Amino acid sequence: MTSLSPARTRLALLALALGGFGIGTTEFVAMGLLPDIARDLLPSLYAQDPDAAIARAGIVISAYAIGVVVGAPTIAAVAARFPRKALLTALAAAFTLGTVASALAPTFETVVAARVLAGLPHGAYFGVAALAAADLMGPGRRGRAVAFVLSGLTIANVVGVPAITWVGQQSGWRVAYLGVAAIFALTTAAIAVLVPGAPGDPRATMRRELSAFARPAVWFALATGALGFGGFFAVYSYVSPLATEVTGTGEGFVPLALIVLGLGMTVGNVVGGRMADRGAMRSVFQLFAAFAASLLALALGAGTVPGLLVGLFAVGASAAAISPAIQTRLMDVAGDSQTIAAAVNHSALNLGNSLGAFLGGAVIAAGWGYLAPTWVGLALCVPGVLAAVAGWAVTRVPADDAIPSLAADDDRVAARPGA
């Protein structure tokens, strides 16, 4: 990219983060409005069995996640050689249209279809934006660049999601989605004006990008993200009934619970980006331990308001801190396939979104209560850590390496073309 003044660089980074803010709002706002969506789109089922209707409405969350899983590798592989600014502008415009369609779709089935379409640009946007931010911030700051773009998503959970949730509770969930579409329209304009032009990679081909999937370490990193974040989304998908049914608060308390969770995510994202720059693999292990501890604390303390808020903050912080570490790890082990490596992390995270929402809804529908998804999240930490251990093992160099040398392993893996 052309050399920019510090002020212009900050504005360009803010434009990229604004896209993350819109994505975080569109992805997570349904979690606070599930009862409203179920009441409006599934009225007969809601009248007979509200719990079953809310669990079925969770499909709206899973549908968006499916769009991300499909769109991230497909768009990243096809568009890796395109100029980044034009690609980012087009992706932001696609978000705008998909979110408007979500607001206007007349039936439950068409809303689900619209959410799939709205999710298609998600992974590609974050992947290309992370690469653009890394260029803007300079060498040795990839983790922080990833975290900066993701900061829009985490701040959305402090400001955007609670605000749009409140709007949806007062004026209807459709109005809430139109508000999200306005954020994406602003993002489109901001990227077009503030982000400097930069050519794509002329050597990039679909075959080269897809070659990342021939590397075992890439698959283990993706599995780590999907399983770990399945635990997070099992909790996040059902924050609203957790607060109202387990803690015993009113619906008006739900936006505050979301704000606290979002504050945790914002803090964790900053910490995680800095940790990733010091050693991505070591950070993954440390942060998974913190995540498991936070889920246990929430499960044991959610019966009281202080226990709920402390638990949600800790869950949000530890989960968000893992994301920059996993994305940096993917970029380390993907060789030349950097665009798809930066994008497919979000496929993995949204597989976790879909898995967590599904499993959380399943245990609720089975009658195990609204605290059960928290225990599901804790259980998913186990295979997530095992996948991380396997990923570390396949990229070890000396046979006698041990866990304390994981930061050095990160440096060696990044330099190895065949990792």
Is 1 within a domain? Answer: no
CA separation for the pair 302, 293 (Å, rounded): 14
Predicted confidence at residue 178, as pLDDT, reads 95
* Maximum average pLDDT range among 101-110, 360-369, 397-406: 101-110
Q: What is the pTM of this model?
A: 0.74
Domains in the chain: how many in total? 1
Predicted confidence at residue 419, as pLDDT, reads 44
Give 149 or 247, the one with higher predicted confidence: 247
**pLDDT confidence band for 1 (50 / 70 / 90):** very low
pLDDT for 396 beyond 60? yes
pLDDT for 110 beyond 90? yes
Predicted confidence at residue 399, as pLDDT, reads 37
Predicted confidence at residue 90, as pLDDT, reads 95
Is 279 within a domain? Answer: yes
Q: Which of 417, 407, 413 is nearest to 284 (CA)?
A: 407
- Mean pLDDT, the chain, as a whole number? 84
What CATH number corresponds to the domain at position 379?
Answer: 1.20.1250.20
pLDDT for 188 beyond 90? yes
Give 59 or 197, the one with higher predicted confidence: 59
pLDDT for 20 beyond 80? yes
- The average pLDDT across 336-360 equals 79
CA separation for the pair 268, 69 (Å, rounded): 24
pLDDT for 70 beyond 90? no
**One-letter amino acid identity for 318?**
S
pLDDT for 281 beyond 50? yes
Predicted confidence at residue 417, as pLDDT, reads 44
Is 225 within a domain? Answer: yes
- The average pLDDT across 10-22 equals 91
Predicted confidence at residue 31, as pLDDT, reads 75
Predicted confidence at residue 184, as pLDDT, reads 96
pLDDT for 84 beyond 50? yes
Predicted confidence at residue 58, as pLDDT, reads 83
Query: What beta strand segments (E) does 124-261 contain?
Result: none
Q: Which domain holds residue 363?
A: 6-415
Predicted confidence at residue 418, as pLDDT, reads 43
Is 238 within a domain? Answer: yes
pLDDT digits (tens, 9 = 90+) for 162-182: 889 889 989 999 999 999 999
Alpha carbon of 179 to those of 22, 63, 186, 383: distances in Å? 10, 20, 11, 38
CA separation for the pair 256, 372 (Å, rounded): 22
Predicted confidence at residue 204, as pLDDT, reads 64
Predicted confidence at residue 272, as pLDDT, reads 87
Give 259 or 107, the one with higher predicted confidence: 107
Least confident of 43-47, 129-133, 396-400: 396-400
**What is the per-residue DSSP string for 6-68?**
HHHHHHHHHHHHHHHHHHHHHHHHHHHHHHHHHHHH-HHHHHH-HHHHHHHHTHHHHHHHHHH
**pLDDT confidence band for 283 (50 / 70 / 90):** confident
Contacting residues for 382 by C-beta, under 8 A, at least 6 apart: none
